[in-house]
Amino acid sequence: MPVESSAPVRRDPKSIDAAIRALTAKFGNRVVTSMAVREQHGNTVTWIKNQPPDAVVFPQSAEEIQDIVRICAEHRVPVIPFGTGTSLEGHVNAPLGGVSIDVRDMNKVLAVHAEDLDCVIEPGITRKALNEYLRDQGVFFPIDPGADASLGGMAATRCSGTNAVRYGTMKDNVLSLKVVTASGELMTTARRAKKSSAGYDLTRLFVGSEGTLGVITELTLKLAGIPEAISGGICPFPSVEACCNAAILTIQSGIPIARIELLDPMQVRAVNLYSKLSLRETPMLFLEFHGTEAGVAEQSERFGEIAQELGGGPFEWTTRPEERTRLWEARHNAAFATVTLRPGASLIATDVCVPLSRLADCVTETQRDIEASKLIAPIVGHIGDGNFHLTILVDRSSPAEVANAEAFGERLVERALAMDGTCTGEHGVGQGKMKYLLHEHGAPALEAMRSIKRALDPQDIMNPGKIVALS
């Protein structure tokens, strides 16, 4: 397939040294240049090579981020925003060197407007910390990617997660942003109003821009009311196709499902080993319903009837928080659980997304490919929106194994694109999936992206080498 080039611009050590001296003069010991800290701020989560920055700075305000960006712009030194480092496609790598801006100290809740169902936060607060803060006010932030990521990073990568089928993704739940642009200016993208038709939608432009257009310093987020009751459970099926058909029928029937997650038999086995469960090793759905006590009971019963019609079941569900928590902790630990299938192996995590009607085809074809390739690669999917993930276990010391896994990943993306899908549903592009954008979007769309990048970042200092290449 045609690919997008990511050839790097030449790195200038003298400019980088000058920028670090200027930053150290202003921020003192909050500028760190030790190799251990620098490597922690390069890619650490997946198989993509670690490319550490030359320095890490820990700002405590938007004004300090402006100062950092202005110094870096003066010396034409790259700037790489950093949240918690849980992104999977090399988003936080520094292929041209530069300065990592770690927003861990910008972790405050600035305002909560419970009556308006929104809040204003700094980018370094994590989703778990935010929901702990909100818990006593009857509201919560529903986007749950599994990892305890920072909210700024979640917006930057346009993530989603297990609740997306009911509550949408980050693009649906960010009302406004404050962003430091490549010139060091502080931009506000919108107001707190729930809707607006005034001008370009700058908020959506920056959500998913992966730090390539600016550094997020503040977010205004939509909140949801904490449900009166929650029911959740598991339902086995004879095949992946039956699982997918159950999801389609559930959504088409208007049942307001909150979560509906697919685990293939290999993933169920891993979950059993890691989380000490005893689930049947068959295609399985994990489900959750939100509403009133009567509502979630009715929804659960209706889903059970759908499952039975498709040869699945029984649907075992409960409203007891401790039982539901145990199940969803097992689901969130699915990636870590795969290591039990091959201890010592490295993880290659990837995802694609296709129209829901093509999900069963895509997953079953992928399972055949896994078997033919002799790979260990469990599948777990956000089945309600056509998105699924694989964690491929590979011996990194074997070039043949790595090449086999990479070739499989290429075929996976080609398969998704052939089904009118996307190369990534929620992991983002970063470095790892830049090469697929030309095939997915076409040359005119890619050139439009480059034009936006050139207009907002003419020196190409904002997280260069990600999403689109300017050269």
Return mean pLDDT, the chain. 94
Name the residue among 307, 402, 386, 388 with its Cα closest to residue 347: 402
Question: Is the pLDDT confidence value at 6 over 70?
Answer: no
Residues 136-160: what's their mean pLDDT? 94
Specify the CATH number of the domain 229-330.
3.30.70.3450
Question: Residue 262 — pLDDT band, cuts 50, 70, 90?
Answer: very high
Q: Is the Cβ–Cβ distance between 283 and 264 less than 8 Å?
A: yes
**pLDDT by residue (tens digit) across 378-428?**
999 999 999 999 999 999 999 999 999 999 999 999 999 999 999 999 999
Tell me which fold the domain 109-225 belongs to: 3.30.465
* Rounded (5°) CA angle 222-244-406: 85
Look at the alpha carbons of 135, 139, 143, 149 in this order and tell me if their dihedral is positive or negative. negative
Cα 400 to Cα 403: distance, rounded to the nearest angstrom = 5
Q: How far apart are CA 106 and CA 98, in angstroms?
A: 21
Are 78 and 464 contacting, i.e. CB atoms less than 8 angstroms apart? yes
Cβ-count burial 141-165 (b if 16+ within 10 Å, e if not): bbbbbbbebbbbbbbbbbbbbbbbb
Number of CB atoms found within 10 A of residue 35's CB:
8
Q: What's the pLDDT tens digit per position in 179-194?
A: 999 999 999 999 999 9
In CATH terms, are 229-330 and 336-436 the same topology? Answer: yes
CA angle 382/385/389 to nearest 5° reads 35
Reduced 3-state DSSP string for the chain: CCCCCCCCCCCCHHHHHHHHHHHHHHHHHHEECCHHHHHHCCCCCCCCCCCCCCEEECCCCHHHHHHHHHHHHHHCCCEEEECCCCCCCCCCCCECECEEEECCCCCCEEEEEHHHCEEEECCCCEHHHHHHHHHHHCEECCCCCCCCCEHHHHHHCCCCCCCHHHHCCHHHHEEEEEEECCCCCEEECCCCCCCCCCCCCHHHHHCCCCCCCCEEEEEEEECEECCCEEEEEEEECCCHHHHHHHHHHHHHCCCCEEEEEEECHHHHHHHHHHHCCCCCCCCEEEEEEEECHHHHHHHHHHHHHHHHHCCCCCCEEECCHHHHHHHHHHHHCHHHHHHHHCCCCEEEEEEEECCHHHHHHHHHHHHHHHHHHCCECCEEEEHHHCEEEEEEEECCCCHHHHHHHHHHHHHHHHHHHHCCCECCCCCCCCCCCHHHHHHHHCHHHHHHHHHHHHHHCCCCCECCCCCCCCC
What torsion do the CA atoms of 99, 104, 110, 115 make, to the nearest 10 degrees? 110
State the pLDDT at residue 196: 94
Q: What is the mean pLDDT of residues 143-168?
A: 93
Cα separation, 214 vs 68, in Å, equals: 12
Q: Which two tokens stand for residue 293?
A: 């006590």
pLDDT value of position 66: 98
Q: How confident is the model at residue 8 (pLDDT cuts 50, 70, 90)?
A: very low
Question: What fold is seen in the domain 13-104+449-456?
Answer: 3.30.43
60-74 tens-digit pLDDT: 999 999 999 999 999
C-alpha to C-alpha distance for 404 and 156, rounded to whole angstroms? 31
- Given a cut of 90, is residue 93 above it in pLDDT? yes
Give yes or no for residue 3 having a pLDDT over 70. Answer: no
Q: How far apart are CA 237 and CA 363, in angstroms?
A: 15
The alpha carbon of residue 360 and the mean position of all alpha carbons in its chain are separated, in whole angstroms, by 23
pLDDT digits (tens, 9 = 90+) for 12-60: 899 999 999 999 999 999 999 999 999 999 999 888 999 999 999 999 9
At the topology level of CATH, where does 336-436 sit?
Alpha-Beta Plaits (3.30.70)
For the cut 50, the answer to whether the pLDDT of residue 245 exceeds it is yes
Q: Are strands 186-188 and 224-225 parallel, antiparallel or unpaired?
A: unpaired
Looking at residues 321-345, what average pLDDT do you find? 90
- Domain locations along the chain: 13-104+449-456, 109-225, 229-330, 336-436
Predicted pLDDT of residue 141: 98
- Reference 149, options 121, 130, 172; nearest CA is 130
Q: What percent of the chain has pLDDT over 70?
A: 98
Q: Band of the pLDDT at 1, cuts 50, 70, 90?
A: low
Residue pair 273/337 in contact by the 8 Å Cβ criterion = yes
Tokens encoding 198: 């005034």
CA–CA distance, 259 with 164 (Å, rounded to integer): 7
